[in-house]
Structure 1
């Protein structure tokens, strides 16, 4: 997955600036980002603080690893099932 060029604290600072009344187009131009990125961040991180964002990213990474482990185990189970049926 593509990583952001902005850190969690930078994202939070940008969202706080917008909340304080700075116009979004000006904010995006100042920080060198697109408006869709800003709105995506606002939808995803709207009511969070930096520690909550960090925790959410940790959980997403853990979830990604668990899904990968599950897919690998399912593949192994399917291979065992085919081998027992004598398809090899």
Structure 2
């Protein structure tokens, strides 16, 4: 049986991290916590590094900024292509 990959929202990740920290604080072992949260150890540490001290609002804002950054990068790339195309046309290489 293959495991289906899930996409967790930042808010859900932060909730799971908090729940995991709470369980660890109550004396549960990490493997038990990971099984309860249905994640791997690698995922746990990756999430902790990425979202460790964040609140849900911070995670939402981070995702918004990442989307905006991607949009702006795309715009810059398109402008660079337009400039290159205009330079080629100006040189008469068509």
TM-score surpassing 0.5?
yes
RMSD across aligned positions (CA)? 1.6
2:83 corresponds to 1:81? no
Q: Deviations over 1:52-72 (max 9, x none)?
A: 000000000000000011101
Greater relative contact order (CA < 8 Å, ≥ 6 in sequence)? 2
User: Where does residue 5 of structure 1 map in the other structure?
Assistant: 7
Instruction: Report Cα offsets for 1:5-52 as digits up to 9, x if no partner.
Output: 223332112211232324332222222222212211111111110000
1:16 aligns with 2:7: no
Q: TM-score, normalised by structure 1?
A: 0.83
Structure 1 segments unaligned to the other structure (5+ residues): none
Which runs of at least 4 in structure 1 moved beyond 4 Å after TM superposition? none
TM-score, normalised relative to structure 2: 0.78
Query: How many residues align structurally?
Result: 85
Q: For residues 80 and 44 of structure 2, what CA distance do their matches in structure 1 show?
A: 38
8 Å Cα contact 1:14/1:27 also seen in 2: no
Gaps in structure 2 of 5+ consecutive residues: 1-5
Compare CA radii of gyration and give the structure with the larger one.
Answer: 2
